[in-house]
């Protein structure tokens, strides 16, 4: 696991690459699914959650059109913290988000697969499938062994 140290001056240092990094760099690690831990340089305290929340805040502020957390949703989160018996919200959100991301990936994969073929290829494939269906259907209806093949009209 990659270790990122946070210094008193608020700078983040990647110990593996021996360089200072930004929240955007850490966001890139998340997108690349690189596990990391952010720790206080002096005490060793785990600051990962705080940094992850900072990345979310930065993301929310960067693109007003792509906000994930509405004011109402954030207010509801605050109310959950104040409950005598807080809901197991973390697990629910993790599972729901994981399911949503898996479905999104599946849709993207299906879309890419569909786009590999030109519209003409898709039309040809559909026409061929329809032709096979009708040949089989006509062949079964007439009891013809060649299922509606070419020699049918020459036998009369």
Give me the tens of pLDDT residue by residue for the chain, a chain 156 residues long. 999 999 998 899 999 999 999 999 999 999 999 999 999 999 999 999 999 999 999 888 887 677 788 889 889 888 888 877 766 777 788 888 888 888 888 888 877 777 676 777 777 888 888 888 888 877 776 766 554 444 444 444
- By C-alpha distance, which of 26, 65, 18, 16 is closest to 49? 26
CB neighbour class for 68 (10 Å; exposed up to 12, middle 13-18, buried from 19)? exposed
Percentages helix, strand, coil for the chain, rounded to the nearest 5?
A: 60, 10, 30
The predicted structure's pLDDT at residue 156: 41
């Amino acid at each position: 696991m990659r270790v990122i140290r946070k210094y008193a001056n608020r700078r983040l240092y990647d110990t593996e690459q021996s360089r200072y990094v930004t929240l955007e760099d850490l966001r890139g690690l998340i997108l690349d699914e690189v596990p990391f831990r952010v720790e206080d340089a002096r005490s060793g305290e785990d600051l990962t959650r705080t940094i992850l929340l900072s990345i979310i805040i930065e993301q929310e502020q960067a693109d007003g059109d792509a906000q994930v957390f509405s004011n109402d949703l954030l207010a509801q989160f605050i109310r959950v913290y104040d409950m005598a018996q807080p809901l197991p919200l973390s697990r629910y959100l993790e599972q729901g988000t994981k399911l949503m991301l898996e479905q999104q990936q599946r849709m993207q994969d299906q879309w890419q697969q569909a786009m590999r073929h030109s519209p003409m290829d898709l039309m040809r494939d559909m026409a061929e499938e329809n032709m096979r269906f009708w040949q089989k259907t006509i062949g079964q209806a007439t009891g013809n062994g060649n299922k509606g093949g070419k020699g049918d009209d020459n036998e009369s």
